Amino acid sequence: MGAEQVTERFTQLYGARPEGVWAAPGRVNLIGEHTDYNDGFVMPFALPHRAVAAVSRRTDGILRLHSGDIEGGRAEITELRLDTLAPQSDDDWTAYPAGVVWALREAGHEITGADVHLSSTVPTGAGLSSSAALEVVIALALDELYGLGLQRWKLARLCQRAENVYVGAPTGIMDQTASACCEQGHALFLDTRDLSQRQIPFDLAAEGLRLLVVDTQVKHAHSGGEYGKRRAGCEKGAALLGVDALRDVPYAGLDAALARLGDDEEVVRLVRHVVTENHRVERVVSLLRSGETRAIGPVLTEGHASLRDDFRISCPELDLVVDTALANGALGARMTGGGFGGSAIVLAESTETDTLTKAVEESFTASGFTVPRVFEAVPSTGATRLT
Ligand code: GLA
């Protein structure tokens, strides 16, 4: 969806052209899953799929929201009064933009209203951060229109607060930071403890490689209990080990740490995943920096095994993508995002991707699953103003 179409629709809806149009992307995470709420490392990159928002300010304390194409979108405009915005009061897509306005006002920023028309190409419930894209695009638009001068990491924090408190999903900081801070042609190596970042060049095409996203179309939701249970289990592990967060358990000290946890099998598994996953992020960063891109494949696959067997958040469809891709020549494959459905990523030689895609589709049909949506992920630009 381009700036022109969104501008035109906004003008029809609200009777005047918008003050500006902004875009914020969805993301895939290359490696570093369920590490962000453990103060650990992540490595997402931005997708070309994005949320686009046409926005104008209002002065009367009213927020008007409209989207025709976001799941749950309606023909009519939703009108909310800013002074009545309250956590967990909206149960559709409007909670994301409304939550951002709420979080900005809670943080003391004077927002007096807005008219918004939103359109998004980020698949919903696919583990590709469609909600972070909605949050970040609104945060950036209001930051610029109201002259707040907030840095990108700060915008991401406010969006995370909207998601945690207003929407009520206990997620980490990865998705919002990815949408706000990623750069074209790069993956973002992010330390979620202090939000320090490094842009790592990630140009697969130049090396004759491709990264496919396979959206299993199995829907997930992070406000549901399983994500929160994993998070609570990790926090329990950190408390038992006497550290602030599992990030503080060094890879070299993993065996000793697990021995200290004794026979609490569930916590042992969660801790083992987080500590080995942080180590995998560091391995991937160092392989990419030394130009050994193909060698990251097996590390991605190890990450999948850890999410499947230790963290226990995969599902038969995601496992089938990974197994079929590996049996058909992929260099590596794993689920990406929060789990319990959503998408997998597959790293492969460019020459192999057609065969691979066909093999995955056939395996789904043979298993009686809905045929997945497969597309190539090219590291794209983070949130930006379009007009
Ligand atoms: C979801 C959350 C993120 C992160 C991932 C798992 O995408 O929003 O904060 O925890 O799951 O890595």
Are 343 and 374 spatial neighbours (Cβ–Cβ below 8 Å)?
Answer: no
Q: What is the pTM of this model?
A: 0.97
Q: What local confidence, expressed as pLDDT, does residue 14 receive?
A: 98
Q: What single DSSP character describes residue 192?
A: T
Decide: 337 in ligand 1 pocket, CB within 6 A.
yes
Mean pLDDT of 190-208: 97
**pLDDT confidence tier of residue 91, bands split at 50, 70 and 90:** confident
Ligand 1 pocket residue status of 44, Cβ below 6 Å? no
Within 10 angstroms of residue 68's Cβ, the number of other Cβ atoms is 12
Please say whether the structural domain 3-199+381-385 has been given the CATH code 3.30.230.10. yes
**Rounded CA separation 56/6 (Å):** 13
CA of 153 to the centre of ligand 1 (A): 17
Residue closest via CA to ligand 1's atom 11 equals: 338
Q: Which atom of ligand 1 is nearest to the CA of 169?
A: 8
Q: Provide the percentage of residues in the chain whose pLDDT is more than 70.
A: 99
Tens digit of pLDDT for each residue in 151-169? 999 999 999 999 999 999 9
* Ligand 1 contact via 39 beta carbon (within 6 Å): no
* Smallest CA separation from ligand 1 atom 1, residue: 338
β-bridge mates for residue 276, sequence order: none
The domain spans of the chain are 3-199+381-385
Identify the burial level of 260 via C-beta atoms within 10 angstroms of its C-beta, where 0-12 means exposed, 13-18 middle and 19 or more buried. middle
Residue whose structure tokens are 């996953």: 277
Evaluate: CB of 33 within 6 angstroms of ligand 1.
yes
Tell me, what's the pLDDT at 74?
75
Residue 17: what pLDDT? Answer: 98
* Residue 359 CB neighbours (<10 A): 17
Ligand 1: atom nearest CA of 131 is 8
Q: Give the ligand 1 atom nearest the CA of 338.
A: 11
pLDDT tens digit sequence for 211-259 = 999 999 998 766 568 999 999 999 999 999 999 999 999 999 999 999 9
Ligand 1, atom nearest to 173 Cα:
9
Higher pLDDT, 136 or 223: 136
Q: What is the pLDDT of residues 354-377, one digit of tens each?
A: 999 999 999 999 999 999 999 999
Mean residue pLDDT across the chain: 96
34 lines ligand 1 (CB under 6 A): yes
- Residue 134 CB-density burial (10 A; 0-12 exposed, 13-18 middle, 19+ buried): buried
Q: Which residues carry out catalysis?
A: 175
Band (148; pLDDT cuts 50, 70, 90): very high
Query: CA torsion sign, 302 to 330 to 227 to 157?
Result: positive
Average pLDDT over residues 284-304: 98
**pLDDT band, residue 90 (cuts 50/70/90):** confident
pLDDT band at 60 (very low <50, low <70, confident <90, very high): very high
CA of 170 to the centre of ligand 1 (A): 9
What is the residue with the minimal CA distance to atom 5 of ligand 1?
338
Percent of all residues in the chain with a pLDDT value above 90, rounded to a whole number: 94
Ligand 1 midpoint to CA 48 (Å): 19
Determine whether the shortest distance from the Cβ of 171 to ligand 1 is under 6 A: yes
In angstroms, rounded to a whole number, what is the distance separating the alpha carbons of residues 113 and 165? 21
- pLDDT at res. 72: 72
CA atoms of 330 and 344, how far apart (whole Å): 13
Taking residues 32-36, what's their average pLDDT? 98
Task: Tell me the best of 29, 36, 235 to mutate to test the pocket of ligand 1, counting ligand atoms within 8 Å of each CB and taking the most.
Answer: 36
Helix/strand/coil for 186: strand
- SS3 string, 126-180, reads CCCCHHHHHHHHHHHHHHHHCCCCCCHHHHHHHHHHHHHHHHCCCCCCHHHHHHH
8 A C-beta contact, residue 339 and residue 309: no
The CA 172 to ligand 1 mean position distance, Å, reads 6
2-21 pLDDT, tens digit per residue, is: 899 999 999 999 999 999 99
